Amino acid sequence: MSVFFAALGGTILLASFAIGFGLLLTGIDRRVAARMQARVGPPLLQPFTDVRKLFAKQNIIPANAIPWLFNAMPIIALASSIAILLYLPFGSFAPVLGAFGDVILVLYLLIIPSLALVLGGFASGSPYATVGAQREMVSMIAYELPLAVTVISIAWRLHAAHVAEPFSMLTLMQTPVWDVVGPLGSTALLILLVVMAWVTPGELSKIPFDSPEAETELAGGILAEYSGRNLGLFALAQAVKTVAVAAFGIILLLPWNLSPFLGLTMVAAGIADLVFFALKVLFVVSISVTVVRMMMARFRITQVVGLYWLVLGGLGALAIFLLMADTSYVPGMI
């Protein structure tokens, strides 16, 4: 029973933190983007205003839509984005449900918000949303390969170094894979870092990978028919997912905590690590989302597949070979 209540409390706490932090990240992203274009930009809390407005607006269900599916998908998208967070360690805080799932489960959970978007798009009965949903499916299939390659090769390297439970999220956070590898392995990890930096905007459907939502040619694509509260729920889901995806990348490849360096303990360590983690999330989002989206134009969907499968998949394969070579020289330092 107490486990249940701990999980419930943890979920509520995490959900409110992630929604607030995610919306703030969106605000920072918009502000920084504006500054990069020599504009002043919106207030930092603009996304909060936007969501509040959307919740106060009329919620239209198109005549062509399948109402229950159309209305259920925004809720599922938000719920599943929050569910991802339950399996991720934040700073030195262990995941709420860490005992029940590992990195493979998180890989699957990461798909569900996008899947909810796809179903919602198909259920809206609009040709724009249908085309958007098809593109979203294609880009999901595309970025899944380099993402899986990254996860598997890191976990495999930890396994080769005889780390216990290499697939557990907590292990990944507490045993930075960089400490295990030799020089060849470090090169491989740098390559994987580049791969993850490209997977992140893809998962978040940001420019240059925003062809599912292409405003200019698809009128908002997958979200074209959504309005009011449902659109607001999708905005919240997107905010939470931004935190989750960035955190996932950080746990895989930038997992250090601050407290061991500062020699902090107990509460101070927890707070310092959490703040440091939040800063790392901000850093990842600024680089992988803001800078990339300001620099580039949108890829066509065929180019997305080519980039993810051939270029990044190829880089991932190279990284695996380097890690294998690394294992035979430096079987593990732990």
Q: Least separation, in Å, of the C-beta of 125 and another protein? A: 13
Per DSSP, the three-state class of 161 is: coil
Q: Least separation, in Å, of the C-beta of 66 and another protein? A: 17
Q: Least separation, in Å, of the C-beta of 301 and another protein? A: 17
Q: Which is nearer to another protein, 151 or 223 (CB)?
A: 223
**CB of 95 closer than 8 Å to CB of 244:** no
Q: Least separation, in Å, of the C-beta of 41 and another protein? A: 6
Q: Least separation, in Å, of the C-beta of 57 and another protein? A: 5
Q: Least separation, in Å, of the C-beta of 302 and another protein? A: 22
**CB of 191 closer than 8 Å to CB of 319:** yes
DSSP string for 79-140 = HHHHHHHTTS-BTTBPPTTGGG--HHHHHHHHHHHHHHHHHHHHHTT-HHHHHHHHHHHHHH
Rg of the chain in Å (alpha carbons): 20
The residues near 281 (Cβ < 8 Å, ≥ 6 apart) are: 21, 25, 243, 246, 247, 250
Q: Which is nearer to another protein, 153 or 211 (CB)?
A: 211
Q: Which is nearer to another protein, 61 or 199 (CB)?
A: 61
Dihedral sign for Cα atoms in the order 125, 127, 133, 134: positive
Give me the phi and psi of 108, to 5 degrees please. -70, -40
- The pair of structure tokens assigned to 327 is 């294992």
Q: Which is nearer to another protein, 130 or 259 (CB)?
A: 130
Q: Which string of b and e fits 216-250 if b means at least 16 CB within 10 Å? A: eebbbbbbbbbbbbbbbbbbbbbbbbbbbbbbbbb
Q: Which is nearer to another protein, 34 or 111 (CB)?
A: 34
Q: Least separation, in Å, of the C-beta of 216 and another protein? A: 7
Q: Which is nearer to another protein, 45 or 268 (CB)?
A: 45
- The pair of structure tokens assigned to 223 is 């979200």
Q: Which is nearer to another protein, 193 or 219 (CB)?
A: 219
Site residues (vs another protein, CB under 8 A) = 30, 34, 37-43, 46, 49-50, 52-53, 56-60, 128, 214-216, 218-220, 223-228, 231
Residue position matching structure tokens 């919602």: 120
Residue position matching structure tokens 């995490």: 14
